[in-house]
Amino acid sequence: MGSIIGDQTSAFPGHIAVEHVDKQSSPGSGLVLCVDAGGSSCKAAVMTVDGIISSSVGEPCNITTIGIERALAVISAVTDEALQKHPETNGESLSTVTFSQVWIGASGYDRPSLKPLVDAELAKMFRLTIQNGLRITSDIDLLPAVLSSELDISSAIVLVVGTGSVAMSYERSGCEFHRTGRAGGWGSLLGDDGSGYSLGREGIRKTLRHCDLHTLRSRSGANPTAFPPLAQAVLKHFQSVYPGCEPATLLTNLLVPAPGLHIKEDGSTSKTKAFASAASVVLAMAGEDNEAKSILDSSASSVAELVSILVQEQKMDINHCALVLGGGIMRNPLYKEMVMHAVEDQCGNFRQVKVVSEPAVVGARELVRTLENSPVPQ
């Protein structure tokens, strides 16, 4: 497997941060914005050509899930927060600032029926047009930008494993990458194998089996057997979320979340996040518990299969192809290592592997590069 390289961007340790990037200044001035409007959070990065970044974090921003109006409000809020923190726009807001370049990577944007509406509203918000300064894509399309200067890379596969899971393939065109294929990303009802939701669900399923046994034996007067370590840990996790949760009520608590939990989300999103929250338990136990490790083994194989499908069906030359990893679950060292081994077994060695932790920062840097390389008006 090729060497794994991190993007070395950590501008989001809290709600807001400022980063000074070591780079040579260039003539002219400009302000760019990149927003990673994802299903778990919305992150904005404002950057000037001298390399100063200000960043902010907001609530989940999947257009399909929360609707266009709410998504626009979230994007506007995180943009204002980042602008107010930046030294060159301190105290200003979106209504008073004009960006040279804006890139919005929006989860849910791939829905054809939404694109024209989203395009029109964002163009109005930023006072830019798609042809002049405004780029709108899926949030996943931000990640290949980390490869823009890697001219020996002719194609890429982006594998994102967070609450859900999806892989997308790209071909280079100049310094940009254009999407050529997709595998997975079906949502929790039909897919998301190997994702945080999937890991949590498998841990919950194993726990529910022991809850059934516990309840049956308690009702019959028999001595209930002790819960194995994983089931015990999962039950304890949800007891901290749902006060009064017991083996006999775990299923009800999961399917009918307590009032006040994820109050800004609909019922489906709330259940998905509740299931995905158990992934942290499975991941934490995998180093010492065979049941948890077994879940990770099968999940890693499922995730690697997404990559394998794209490589094999498109006959991609991985000798000139990079694998870009993203998503919160891929930050777990053990699971990332298991996924990489599974990818190597199914596909072979990619020329390079990169890990992107902050797509908004990567996108902002790409916009600055584009701005610097643009012809100077005469």
User: What would the pLDDT profile of 182-230 be if each residue is shown by its tens digit?
Assistant: 999 888 788 889 999 999 999 999 999 999 998 888 887 787 778 999 9
CB atoms within 10 A of CB 89: 19
Judging by DSSP bridges, how do beta strands 155-161 and 165-173 pair with one another? Answer: antiparallel
Model confidence pLDDT, tens digit, residues 100-121: 999 999 998 988 888 999 999 9
Phi, psi of 253 (to 5 degrees): -60, -40
Confidence of residue 79 (pLDDT cuts 50, 70, 90): very high
3-class state of residue 54 by DSSP: strand
Residue 21 is predicted with a pLDDT of 40
Residue 125 is predicted with a pLDDT of 94
Q: Tokens for 340?
A: 């990489």
- For the cut 70, the answer to whether the pLDDT of residue 62 exceeds it is yes
Give the span between the Cα atoms of 300 and 202, in whole angstroms: 13
The pTM assigned to this predicted structure is 0.83
Q: What angle do CA 258, 260, 266 make, to 5 degrees?
A: 85
Model confidence pLDDT, tens digit, residues 263-280: 445 555 677 888 999 999
User: Average pLDDT, stretch 131-159?
Assistant: 93
Confidence of residue 1 (pLDDT cuts 50, 70, 90): low
Model confidence pLDDT, tens digit, residues 283-335: 999 989 999 999 999 999 999 999 999 999 999 999 999 999 999 999 999 99
Q: What structural domains does the chain harbor?
A: 4-142+358-373 (3.30.420.40), 153-350 (3.30.420.40)
Please tell me the least confidently modeled range out of 41-55, 253-267, 355-369. 253-267
Residue 6 is predicted with a pLDDT of 54
- For the cut 60, the answer to whether the pLDDT of residue 9 exceeds it is no
Residue 270 is predicted with a pLDDT of 72
Phi, psi of 148 (to 5 degrees): -55, -35
Please tell me the least confidently modeled range out of 89-103, 181-195, 250-264. 250-264
- For the cut 70, the answer to whether the pLDDT of residue 58 exceeds it is yes
Residue 150 is predicted with a pLDDT of 87
Model confidence pLDDT, tens digit, residues 164-174: 899 999 999 88
Confidence of residue 349 (pLDDT cuts 50, 70, 90): very high
Q: Is residue 166 within 8 Å of 184, Cβ to Cβ?
A: yes
- For the cut 70, the answer to whether the pLDDT of residue 375 exceeds it is no
- For the cut 60, the answer to whether the pLDDT of residue 74 exceeds it is yes
- For the cut 60, the answer to whether the pLDDT of residue 18 exceeds it is no
Give the span between the Cα atoms of 139 and 168, in whole angstroms: 12
Residue 15 is predicted with a pLDDT of 37
Model confidence pLDDT, tens digit, residues 230-251: 999 999 999 988 888 889 889 9
Q: Is residue 147 within 8 Å of 156, Cβ to Cβ?
A: yes
Residue 76 is predicted with a pLDDT of 96
Element of type H or E holding 103:
strand 101-106
- For the cut 80, the answer to whether the pLDDT of residue 356 exceeds it is yes
Residue 332 is predicted with a pLDDT of 93
Q: What percent of the chain has pLDDT over 70?
A: 88
Residue 264 is predicted with a pLDDT of 47
Q: Which amino acid is at 205?
A: R
Give the span between the Cα atoms of 286 and 193, in whole angstroms: 18
Give the span between the Cα atoms of 5 and 198, in whole angstroms: 27
CB atoms within 10 A of CB 214: 20
